Copies of this chain bind each other. A is one copy, B any other.
Amino acid sequence: MQFTSEQRLDDGVLEREFTLGEVPGILWTPASASASAPAPLILVGHPGGLHKMYPRLVARARHSAAEGFAAATIELPGGGDRPRFAAAEEARADLLRALEAGEPVGDEIVDRLVLPLVEKAVPEWRATLDALLSLPEIGGPVGYAGGVIAIGLRLAVVEPRISAALLFAGSFVPRAMFEEARQVTIPLQVLLQWDDKGNDRQMALDLFDAFGSKEKTLHANMGGHTGVPQFEGDDGNRFFARHLK
């Protein structure tokens, strides 16, 4: 892991850009984090495009830092400046065509779009986690917060260092992964935007039902994809405080 830039934000949060192999990412640590008081870590998932997503990501990271959490994110395979991901690009084009034509999105398109992304992104997240946890100012336990719910789901199954996840329902999930959801046992909070046009509400409810976790909470709010109410940010902090502190 190579740090490529470093700046102190006005609230004392340290923002560092890094690369891990070909994967760029950003780490935010609260001013309070040190080797003697390492901060618990939240991995922040997003739909790709670090630069475009930066304002929302930094806002979430600062909000988490105010509660003593470090936060980190990496670019998705094929996202931002990373090389295009041919299979996924093609599937995305098919998806957009189906949505524009008002046709139902077939399982086959979802599989082609999401499965390769999950297969490629999850090992990158795990390698990032290895690197982050080797920093003295970062301690376990670890949470995952964000979209691309299929990636969060797979991480929750395969990565034992992740203790809790706050998932945003809002992307397609391959049918095969509903079976996988039953293997998730960590505490979950799932955010659902009730009127999210790009999201299948019933699929989100079915997925929530499928998760094997004994403690899982669904928070559904009005409005579209980016309309998550501000109070959910505070509630997310409280969810992680219950499980990571």
Contact = CB atoms under 8 A, between A and B. Distances in A.
Contacts of A229: 215, 217
21 contacts: A194-B209, A194-B218, A205-B205, A213-B222, A214-B222, A215-B222, A215-B229, A216-B221, A216-B222, A217-B219, A217-B220, A217-B221, A217-B229, A218-B218, A218-B220, A218-B221, A219-B219, A220-B220, A231-B238, A231-B242, A235-B235
A220 B221 CA distance: 12
Determine how many copies of this chain the complex contains: 2
Interface in A219-245: 219-222, 229, 231, 234-235, 238, 242
Nearest to A188: B222
* Most chain B beta-carbon neighbours within 10 Å: one of A221, A222, A238: A222
A208 interface: yes
Contacts of A222: 213-216
A234 B220 CA distance: 18
A208 B219 CA distance: 12
Contacts of A231: 238, 242
